[in-house]
Amino acid sequence: MKVSIIGAGLAGCECAYQLLKQGVDVDLYEMKPTKFSPAHKDKNFAELVCSNSLKSNLISTAGGMLKQELRILDSLLIKCADECAVPAGSALAVDRYKFSELVTSKLKSFKNLHIIEGEVTDLPEGYVVIATGPLTSDSLSKSLAKLFGDNYLYFFDAIAPIVSRESIDFNVAFEGDRYGKGNSDYINCPFTKDEYMNFYQQLIGGEIVQLHDFENSKVFEGCMPIEVLAKRGVDAMRYGPLKPVGIKNPVTNKGYYAVVQLRKENVMGDYYNIVGFQTNLTYGEQSRIFKLIPGLQNAEFVRFGSCHKNTYINAPKLLNRFYQLKSNPNIFVAGQLSGVEGYIESISSGLAVGLNVYNLISNRSFYDFPNTTMIGALSNYLENASSENFQPMSSNMGIVAHNFKDKDKQVKNTKIANKSFEILNNMLN
């Protein structure tokens, strides 16, 4: 039995390893070094295109928890990352060249791996894993648009920051919907004129992430970062996402000069996204400037916002929780293209796909990772997120199901992580 994997990036390499070690023949298609995306530079597989950090190793953080899960599940890429680590405090940072070299040589040591160099423009027949990443080549994107449907393939993402509910000051903020319609799904952060003017001034002067040449402003027309909107004029935000009409204080019935709205991000309602606040401000500036929003002065940011070039699909429409195409069970999508966001998340999806493609071709039942694990919570998000305005997701504690309570967040998160490790170890036995 043979499996074709398109793209030898983070997801494709992890997926390949999971199949190769089971003795499955793998055709690994990679366009490098014949053709490079605008961000890829190195001839080796599994290239880290930007930062060399794979986030924290602390299991009380989402990134640390996910990496430990991947270690339990025998991830080749996390093993290589551990071997290529450079000192970075509690984070796992790697020597990027050694890392890519090591992953490449480990994969090449398998006799059942067949590397097919060159750009893929149409999918091969049979079992296929598409793992061509956020910078999938244009020709392949065109044929994928036919497969997925034009409306379900996107080319940039616009992510608003997420804050924890417990960090919002409800002496200032209040729940309620515009014109009182709805079920109090929103939290409102109201501005006086002075507060708004101060916020506006800081926002238009905030430090922006340096975009790559290929991420020109045209790419982001549909996403409109909040700071770009603000720069259009002092009142632009008040006629957009900060529109105050129809929002009154439930006790005093008072209206406001401007209002930022927060919308529930997860079913449990302990995380909220700041509506319309997709941004290219640096993380430090997001923390400083968004804390000027009344009620968010002590905000804990679970995820920061971003706006960047990213090819990804509308996963809730197209995939099931096994990253398998609903319309064709022989095709899987792994990595950033599937709608996960980040290095370790791409590795995680590649691993899950590798395990279940093997299960599919050997007539075994699929591993169904529960939502109490980070690896399962990510695929659950892809399956169940709203398909309207679907946005990619990185690992975060807000998507993991649990019943733990503790005032100390680190203690609570450690319990969540340990429970997940116990579940995964049991699944393997």
Ligand X SMILES: Cc1cc2nc3c(=O)[nH]c(=O)nc-3n(C[C@H](O)[C@H](O)[C@H](O)COP(=O)(O)OP(=O)(O)OC[C@H]3O[C@@H](n4cnc5c(N)ncnc54)[C@H](O)[C@@H]3O)c2cc1C
Q: Which residues bind ligand X (CB under 6 A)?
A: 6-12, 29-32, 37, 39-40, 49-51, 119-120, 131-137, 140, 212, 309, 335-337, 342-343, 346
Q: Name the helix (H) or strand (E) containing 329.
A: strand 328-333
Closest Cα to residue 344, out of 303, 375, 320? 375
Using the minimum distance from each CB to ligand X, give the nearer residue, 242 or 378: 378
Minimum distance, C-beta of residue 148 to ligand X, in the bound complex (Å): 15
Minimum distance, C-beta of residue 319 to ligand X, in the bound complex (Å): 14
For 390, the 3-state DSSP assignment is: coil
Establish whether the linkage from the previous residue to 124 is cis, with ω within 30° of 0. no
8 A C-beta contact, residue 135 and residue 213:
no
Using the minimum distance from each CB to ligand X, give the nearer residue, 105 or 298: 105
Render 174-193 in DSSP notation, one character per residue: EE--GGG-SSS-EEEEEE-H
Using the minimum distance from each CB to ligand X, give the nearer residue, 59 or 344: 344
CB atoms within 10 A of CB 85: 17
Rg (alpha carbons) of the chain, rounded to whole number: 22
Minimum distance, C-beta of residue 15 to ligand X, in the bound complex (Å): 9
Bridge partners, residue 408, by sequence: none
Minimum distance, C-beta of residue 131 to ligand X, in the bound complex (Å): 5
Residue 46 φ/ψ region, left for φ over 0, alpha for ψ in the -120 to 50 degree band, beta for the rest: left
Distance of CA 201 to the CA centre of its chain: 30
Q: How far apart are CA 339 and CA 335, in angstroms?
A: 7
For residue 182, give the DSSP letter: S
Using the minimum distance from each CB to ligand X, give the nearer residue, 133 or 398: 133
The amino acid at residue 81 is A
8 A C-beta contact, residue 374 and residue 419:
no
Minimum distance, C-beta of residue 317 to ligand X, in the bound complex (Å): 19
Minimum distance, C-beta of residue 347 to ligand X, in the bound complex (Å): 8
8 A C-beta contact, residue 259 and residue 242:
yes
Using the minimum distance from each CB to ligand X, give the nearer residue, 44 or 164: 44
Using the minimum distance from each CB to ligand X, give the nearer residue, 188 or 310: 310
Using the minimum distance from each CB to ligand X, give the nearer residue, 16 or 385: 16
Q: State the residue for tokens 């551990």.
A: 82
Q: Name the helix (H) or strand (E) containing 66.
A: helix 62-72
The torsion angles phi and psi of 144, rounded to 5 degrees, stand at -70, -35
Using the minimum distance from each CB to ligand X, give the nearer residue, 66 or 228: 66
Q: State the residue for tokens 């529109």.
A: 243
Minimum distance, C-beta of residue 21 to ligand X, in the bound complex (Å): 19
Q: Which residue is nearest to ligand X (CB)?
A: 9
8 A C-beta contact, residue 13 and residue 45:
yes
Minimum distance, C-beta of residue 214 to ligand X, in the bound complex (Å): 8
Minimum distance, C-beta of residue 411 to ligand X, in the bound complex (Å): 27
Q: Which residues contact 291 (CB under 8 A, 6 or more apart)?
A: 297, 298, 299
Distance of CA 411 to the CA centre of its chain: 25
Using the minimum distance from each CB to ligand X, give the nearer residue, 63 or 241: 63
For 4, the 3-state DSSP assignment is: strand
Minimum distance, C-beta of residue 29 to ligand X, in the bound complex (Å): 5
Using the minimum distance from each CB to ligand X, give the nearer residue, 10 or 229: 10
